[in-house]
């Protein structure tokens, strides 16, 4: 066999192999597709159309991703609109000069009578909210020093938001601001694109609290603390199932603070619309085990049994009670 014909034979064999591989790939794709749609059996002459329809469906999902990204970018731009309101609230709450904001009334508002600002504003807001059960008695002196809770929407390097808790100087830690960042993903799961539903929190990062000596409120493993919220890394240490649930709850808290606690803080403080503090309306995870799990953070022997997790009825009705009972055990 000449070198040329040998090369030609090789090239032909290669082409044939490539063709076979392509056929196998196509067959795998067909099997995958048939499995995906196993619930319904379609005659083969409809399959090509369904293939095409499914491609368009996936294209719709991709376009929705773009829409959500654009909407988030718009929200990021729009936050300046709300910033000045939140700054005014902070000025009043912290007793800064607010003569331009507060109408003075000589009889009831004698300047000498005025306390500085609105004492315990943010602690009261927290306790009127869905996070009530997370605030422990021993956390309160530190939380009385809360000057502001803010949210900053981020788009760069990735979509997300940062919660900032600003504190006056206190006996517990030296940080002026405690932060928690939440990162959002907006992409369909390739294995289950039909479940795509816009942005989802997928990761959060806390901050290191510089505790003053003998004042670490999160140190005692037998005691829960609101400040564990800034240590989400600890959740990763908990057994997988329980860790995932706690993460879901943590994400619910973060989302609630961004969407309700901050923009409705005054209504929460005033006790208007108790539903704002109602976890029933907010928590879609139905498994508020966050504090329950934190309680056992070092001792949890096994993830809880499946029926315990799924039995969400009562938890949904009385989550605060459940959370509180965890701390009184």
Block residue for tokens 């790939």? 25
- Measured torsion, CA atoms of residues 225, 226, 227, 228, in degrees rounded to the nearest 10: 70
Distance CA 118, CA 148 (A): 12
Does 306 participate in binding its own copies (rule CB under 8 A)?
A: no
Does 190 participate in binding its own copies (rule CB under 8 A)?
A: no
Cα dihedral sign, 14-18-23-24: positive
Does 113 participate in binding its own copies (rule CB under 8 A)?
A: yes
**Identity of the residue, 16 or 109, whose beta carbon is nearer to its own copies in the bound complex:** 109
In the bound complex, what is the minimum distance in angstroms from residue 298's beta carbon to its own copies? 36
According to DSSP, the β-strands at 160-167 and 146-154 are antiparallel
Distance CA 270, CA 180 (A): 26
Using the rule CB under 8 A, give the single segment among 84-92, 140-148, 153-161, 236-244 that binds its own copies. Answer: 84-92
Does 271 participate in binding its own copies (rule CB under 8 A)?
A: yes
Distance CA 173, CA 215 (A): 8
Of the candidates 268, 193, 205, which has an alpha carbon nearest to the alpha carbon of residue 232? 205
Does 276 participate in binding its own copies (rule CB under 8 A)?
A: yes
In the bound complex, what is the minimum distance in angstroms from residue 147's beta carbon to its own copies? 15
In the bound complex, what is the minimum distance in angstroms from residue 54's beta carbon to its own copies? 6
In the bound complex, what is the minimum distance in angstroms from residue 193's beta carbon to its own copies? 8
Does 269 participate in binding its own copies (rule CB under 8 A)?
A: yes
Does 154 participate in binding its own copies (rule CB under 8 A)?
A: no
Q: Is 204 helix (H, G, I), strand (E, B) or coil?
A: strand
Does 310 participate in binding its own copies (rule CB under 8 A)?
A: no
Does 301 participate in binding its own copies (rule CB under 8 A)?
A: no
The whole-angstrom distance between residue 245's C-alpha and the CA centroid of its chain comes to 12
Of the candidates 326, 318, 317, 256, which has an alpha carbon nearest to the alpha carbon of residue 291? 326
The site string for its own copies over 42-71 (x = CB under 8 A, - otherwise) reads: --xxxxxxxxxxx-xx-xx--xx-xx--xx
According to DSSP, the β-strands at 160-167 and 177-185 are antiparallel
Which residues contact its own copies by CB under 8 A? 36-37, 39-40, 44-54, 56-57, 59-60, 63-64, 66-67, 70-71, 74-75, 78, 81-82, 85-86, 88-89, 92-93, 98, 101-105, 108-110, 113-115, 117-118, 192-195, 263-267, 269-276, 313
């Amino acid at each position: 066999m000449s070198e040329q014909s040998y090369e030609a034979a090789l090239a032909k064999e290669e082409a044939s192999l490539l063709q076979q591989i392509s056929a196998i790939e196509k067959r795998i794709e067909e099997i995958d597709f048939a499995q995906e749609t196993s619930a319904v059996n379609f005659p083969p002459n409809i399959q090509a159309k369904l293939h095409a329809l499914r491609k368009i469906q996936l294209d719709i999902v991709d376009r929705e991703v773009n829409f959500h990204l654009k909407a988030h970018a718009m929200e990021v731009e729009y936050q300046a609109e709300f910033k000045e309101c939140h700054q005014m609230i902070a000025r009043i709450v912290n007793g800064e000069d607010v003569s331009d904001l507060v109408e003075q009334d000589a009889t009831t508002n004698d300047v000498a009578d005025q306390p500085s600002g609105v004492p315990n504003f943010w602690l009261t807001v927290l306790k009127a909210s869905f996070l009530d059960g997370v605030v422990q008695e021993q956390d309160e002196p530190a939380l009385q020093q809360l000057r502001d809770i803010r949210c900053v929407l981020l788009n760069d390097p990735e979509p997300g938001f940062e919660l900032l808790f600003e504190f006056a100087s206190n006996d517990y830690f030296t940080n002026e601001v405690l932060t928690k960042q939440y990162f959002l993903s907006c992409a369909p799961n390739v294995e289950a694109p039909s479940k795509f539903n816009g942005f989802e929190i997928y990761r959060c990062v806390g901050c290191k609290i510089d505790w003053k000596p003998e004042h670490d409120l999160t140190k005692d493993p037998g005691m829960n603390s609101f400040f564990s919220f800034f240590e989400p890394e600890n959740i990763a240490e908990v057994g997988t199932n329980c860790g995932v649930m706690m993460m879901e709850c943590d994400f619910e808290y973060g989302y609630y603070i961004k969407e309700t606690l901050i923009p409705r803080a005054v209504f929460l403080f005033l006790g208007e619309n108790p539903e704002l503090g109602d976890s029933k309306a907010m928590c879609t995870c139905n498994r508020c085990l966050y504090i329950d799990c934190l309680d056992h953070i070092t001792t949890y022997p096994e993830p809880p049994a499946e029926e315990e997790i799924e039995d969400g009825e009562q938890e949904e009705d009385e989550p605060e009670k459940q959370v509180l009972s965890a701390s009184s055990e």
